[in-house]
Structure 1
């Protein structure tokens, strides 16, 4: 009995220590703006539901708007040629009412990884570009690009009807949606209740769909 009581107390102590080690941050009502002096990137990696507006320009600019109680947990760093925007991992966040915004100016955009309900919007004139979307993330771009590659998972949306591209390759899974506008060749994998729409009259290459998904011309 004595050993059992000790074991129970140890379990309770461990649970309490674990709970005490988690930060539950929700975002205060006070929004602060800060500028990050980061240059030399051509890709974006965005997480934690950040809303990013991208602009093209001859110089680099990164302006972040977040609630003041999230500033210490903000992560804005460059890794290689990628600008990463998000919050520190390993913490507990309730971000439903938080402000998580970024204005990014960059000369060229070659791709973006969006996770955790993040959004990327903008008007661009770029070369080949690759987008990886997961966790209900969205990309909405207009303008023009070279060849486009999109991988969308977990209920994500690629709204690219107004982005004129040459060739497009789309892989949509897990209830994701994509709309593209290629003038050359279109390849698509559409599975798991996903939907791909395309504009114009591209040459259809390899099209792989399942019974719960759809692939249609708009």
Structure 2
């Protein structure tokens, strides 16, 4: 009898913690199986990127537009890449699915130095690992971060944070910049001519350069010259 009870208990536990389950909001939760694989996805030309999920994305230079993704073999199928108009959208499908312990790493290859805008709506991060010229807009409404690791230039740049993610663009030199923070994330940037700052949240703007500054601050954040 004891052996029967023990065996039944083991089965229940395995079922409860198996690869698929439901959480309290009835969205499907899928646990990674530990087998990390990689796939390549061909893409058409785009100028904007919208990251909706928790993938960590690196923007790289390459001979053609494509994505390379690595993750657990049973999770990778739920991560989708869609080019709509000029925008590349990276999302989960279905959107309500919860990819538990996902290790998703995405490399986006672009043959051009032109990229117009970046948007983060989830917890994933975007890192610029290639020269990007004339980027004009970055928006974060989630908790992910945008970081540039390569020196680049642009003329006009609009940076907006309504979430908790940070923007670190000290390697990108811009002539004119507009920074709007209504969330808790921080902005690090470099500008030469003019800088407009609007802060209604708790995030800060850290800047390099000698721009003419116009600022409106109603929150607890502040502007700090580096």
TM-score by length of 2: 0.81
Q: SS of the counterpart of 1:167?
A: strand
The answer to which of 106-115 and 122-131 deviates more is: 122-131
Question: In the alignment, is residue 35 of structure 1 matched against residue 40 of structure 2?
Answer: yes
Q: What is the aligned length?
A: 200
Distance 1:69 1:166, change over 3 A: same
* Contact preservation (8 Å) 2:27, 2:98: no
Q: 1:100 aligns with which of 98, 104, 122?
A: 104
* Contact preservation (8 Å) 1:129, 1:145: no
Q: Which runs of 5+ in 1 are unaligned?
A: 1-16
* Contact preservation (8 Å) 1:33, 1:66: yes
TM-score by length of 1: 0.84
CA shift, 1:42, in A, is: 1.4
**Pairwise CA RMSD of aligned residues?**
2.1
* Contact preservation (8 Å) 1:189, 1:207: yes
Q: SS of the counterpart of 1:151?
A: strand
The answer to which of 84-93 and 48-57 deviates more is: 84-93
Q: 2:117 aligns with which of 102, 111, 115?
A: 111
Q: Deviations over 1:123-147 (max 9, x none)?
A: 3231142111122110001321312
* Contact preservation (8 Å) 2:28, 2:97: yes
1:121: which partner in 2?
127
Q: Deviations over 1:160-181 (max 9, x none)?
A: 1121122111111221110110
CA shift, 1:102, in A, is: 0.8
Q: SS of the counterpart of 2:57?
A: strand
Alpha-carbon separation, structure 1, partners of 2:134 and 2:199: 25
Q: Which structure 2 residues correspond to residues 139-158 of structure 1 after superposition, within 5 A?
A: 139-141=146-148, 142-146=150-154, 147-158=156-167
Alpha-carbon separation, structure 1, partners of 2:104 and 2:60: 17
Runs of 4+ in 1 over 6 A off after TM superposition: 17-21
